[in-house]
Amino acid sequence: MTHTHPGGVTWTLGEAEDYKRQRDGETMKLWVWRSACAVCGAPIQVKTVTTDPETPATGRNLLKKHCPEHAWKFPAKGEKLGQRK
């Protein structure tokens, strides 16, 4: 399954990982999405709790467009330069 985010990045859905939530210790699935940095093409990935890109939490994660090296130069909409660590 692939999803092209309105931000312009096409994500490919990969495998699910088991994730133990810190707050209550509950085990849940995290889905891995893979894409490439919009600048250099380096592999990037995000993890989401559902495979539905229409949910706000997933959609927000899929806003990512850049590898760590380039993220600070190209802030996502609503972010300020230098905000990311």
Chain-centre distance of CA 32, in angstroms?
8
What's the Rg (C-alpha) of the chain?
13
Binding flag, residue 36, Zn ion (CB under 5 A): no
Binding flag, residue 39, Zn ion (CB under 5 A): yes
Q: Which amino acid is at 4?
A: T
Binding flag, residue 70, Zn ion (CB under 5 A): yes
Binding flag, residue 67, Zn ion (CB under 5 A): yes
Residue 41 backbone zone (phi > 0: left; psi -120 to 50: alpha; other: beta): left
Write down the least CB distance from residue 1 to Zn ion, Å: 24
Residues that bind Zn ion (CB under 5 A): 37, 39-40, 42, 67, 69-70
